Structure 1
Amino acid sequence: MSESKNIEWHLSKVMKTERQDRNKHKSTVLWFTGLSGSGKSTISAELEKVLFEKGVQVYRLDGDNIRHGLNKNLGFSPEDRSENIRRIGEVAKLMVDAGMITLTAFISPYRKDRELVRKLLEDDEFIEVYVKARIETCEARDPKGLYKKVRNGEIINFTGIDAPYEEPHKPELMIDTDQLSLEQSVNLIIDYLIENGYIK
C-alpha cells in the first residue's frame, strides 16, 4: 500500500481531554472479539443503549455494518481481514480522540491485528472484551444462518470451522455467554467501566 509523502497532521485547537471533560467521562475502545454467534453484536448493542441512557457519548461499530460501506471492497482472505481491522482501528482512534466511548464488534480472529489496534491507542484506551462461547453454542444459535451454509459447502474459510480463531491471551474482560445472560454480560462491563474510572 502506497503512502503519500505530501501530508501533514494538523493539530486541533480542542484537546481530547477537553472533550472528555465536557462529556464527563473518559474515552476508550471496547473491542469485542469472538466467534460468529458468540454474542458480540447482541451485547455491544445492548451496552450502547445502556450507556447512552446514562448520558455517555457512545457509538458502536459493527462488523457487518462497516462492510456495507467503509470496507465493502474487502473480502474474507487473511489479508482482507487484517486490512478490515486496521481500518476500524484507525476509525476507533479518531472516535477516542473525539472523546467518545467506542464499541467495536468484530470477529477479528488474529491476535496480531488486535494488538496492532491496541498499539494505536494510549495504554488505557483499549479494552479487549473476549466474548467466549463454545463452537457448538455458536452453531446452535446461528443468527445469520452462516454455519448452515458452511456445513452445506456454500461458505469456505469460515472462522472457527476451516479458518483459525486465535483466542486473546489476556483480555481485559472475558464474557462467557455459555454461562451469562445478556443482562449479566452488560452489567459486568458496566461494573468494569465504573471501577476503572471510565464512567461515573
Structure 2
Amino acid sequence: MISRTEALNLLRKYLVDEKMIKHCIAVESIMRSLARMLGEDEELWGLVGLLHDIDYDYVNRDMSRHGLEALNILKNVLPEDALQAIAGHNEHNGFVVTSEKAKKLLHALRAADHTAGLIVATALVMPGKRISEVKLNTLMRKFRSKDFARGVDRSRIMEVQQLGLGVEELLKLALESLKNVAQELEL
C-alpha cells in the first residue's frame, strides 16, 4: 500500500485546486478518527479519505465519470475494497459497491465527505473564519438548517448510522479531528 506522503504527492499530481486538496485532507482526518473509533485500519481509511476525489479535476468535474477514473489512477495503489468505496462515493456514476467491507468504508467516506463540507462552511461564517470557533451546538443547528450549505447532503452525513454511530457523535468526532488539522487547512 502507498504511504501517506506518496498519496499526497499523487493527489497533488492530479488535483490542481488547492481547496479540493484541503477538502481531501479534511476528509482524511475524519476517516482516520472514524477508523480509530470503530477499530478499523486507520492508515487505509485515511488514504481512502485523502484520495477519494483524486480524479475530480482529471474528469473536469464530470459527475458521471468522477470516481470511475479514480479506479484507473489508483488500481495498483489501494486494495479492491478501498477502490470500490472511492468509486462508489459518488452516486451519479452508476458504480455499485459489492463487498461488505467496501460498503462499510463507503458509508464512512460519504459521511466524512459531507461532514467536512459542513464543518468548513460553518467555520467560514464564524467571525474569525476558524474551526476553533465552531461549537458542536452551532454545528448541530447548521446541520438541521436546510438553507445552510445547500451542497452538503444531510442524508450522506446520516449514513454514519449504518456504522452504528449517531449524527451528533460524528459531528463531535469530526470537529475535534479537523481542529487537529486546522493549520494545514488554513482555518
- TM-score class, shorter-chain normalisation, is 0.3 to 0.5
* TM-score (ref. length: structure 2): 0.37
Relative to its length, the structure with more helix (as a share) is 2
Bigger-Rg structure (1/2): 1
